[in-house]
Homo-oligomer: A and B are copies of this chain.
Amino acid sequence: VRYPESHKAETHAKIVAAAARSFREHGAEAEGIGAVMAGLGLTKGGFYRHFGSKDDLVAEAVAVAFEEISERLVRIAEAAPQGRALQAIVEHYLSREHLEAPGSGCVLAALAAEIARLPVPVRRRIGLSIRAYRDVMAAYMPGDSLDERRERFGVLFPAMAGVLAAARVLEDDSARERMLAAARSFFVDSFAAATLG
Chain A: residues with CB nearer than 8 A to chain B? 26-27, 29-30, 102, 108-117, 120, 123-124, 126-127, 130, 151-152, 154-155, 157-172, 178-179, 182-183, 186, 190
Contacts and interface: CB of A to CB of B under 8 A. Distances in A.
B112 A165 contact: yes
A166 B158 contact: yes
Nearest to A108: B166
Given A111-B113, A117-B27, A158 B130 contact: no
17 contacts: A108-B169, A112-B169, A113-B165, A123-B169, A123-B171, A124-B171, A126-B169, A154-B166, A154-B182, A155-B186, A157-B166, A159-B162, A161-B166, A162-B162, A162-B163, A165-B165, A186-B190
Nearest to A127: B171
A178 to B, nearest CB: 7
Nearest to A158: B166
Given A127-B172, A160-B162, 9 more contacts: A108-B165, A109-B113, A109-B162, A110-B113, A112-B169, A113-B168, A116-B165, A151-B178, A158-B163
